[in-house]
Amino acid sequence: MTSPAPLAYDERLTAPRAWWLIAVGVGLAMALIVLPLGGLAALGGFAAGTLIACMWVSAQGSSRIRVTHDSLVADQARIPLAALGRAEVLEGEEARAWRTYKADLRAHELMRSFITTAVRIENTDPDDPTPYLFLSTRTPQTLADALNSAPTP
C-alpha cells in the first residue's frame, strides 16, 4: 500500500469569525419575525434561521487550495503542475484590479470577498483556453513559493 503524496501547501478558505455571529443574528431576526405566533414558533424560527445561516457561512469556508507533488487542487479543479507557469503574488490594489477590470472571463477564479490577497498563476497548456488561475489566499507568498519551487516533469 502506497502512502499519499505529501502536501507542499494546504489552506482552507474559512469564513471570518464575525460571520458566525451574523448567522446567530439572522436566527434572532427570524425569532422576532415569528414571535407573534408564540414562544415555540420563535424558538423554531431561531433554530431554523440560525441553521440556514450557519450552513451558508460554512459553505463559504469549504473551499481548499492544495499543492501536491504533481498537481494544484483548487476547490473542484485539479490542474497538473506541468500545465502551470509562474505564480504571481497579488496584494492590495493589484489584487482588486485582477478581481475586477483586469479579469478575463475565461480565467478560473476561486475568489472570496473576505480575503484581500491572491495569487495569479499562468496556464501554459496550449490546449486549455483558460489563460490563468486567480486564487484568493491568506498566505499568497507561501502558495507562490510552493508552486514556483515545484519540480516540473
Query: Rounded CA gap, 119 and 113, in Å?
Result: 14
What are 121's strand-pairing partners?
A: 87, 133
No. of helices (H) and no. of strands (E), the chain: 4, 8
What pTM does this model have? 0.78
Is residue 53 classed as helix, strand or coil in its secondary structure? helix
Neighbouring CB atoms inside 10 A of 119's CB total 25
pLDDT at 152: 59
pLDDT at 32: 96
pLDDT at 44: 96
Q: What is the pLDDT along the chain (153 residues), one digit of tens a residue?
A: 555 556 788 888 888 889 999 999 999 999 999 999 999 999 999 999 999 999 999 988 778 999 988 889 998 889 999 889 899 999 989 999 998 999 889 999 998 888 899 999 999 988 889 999 999 999 999 999 988 886 655
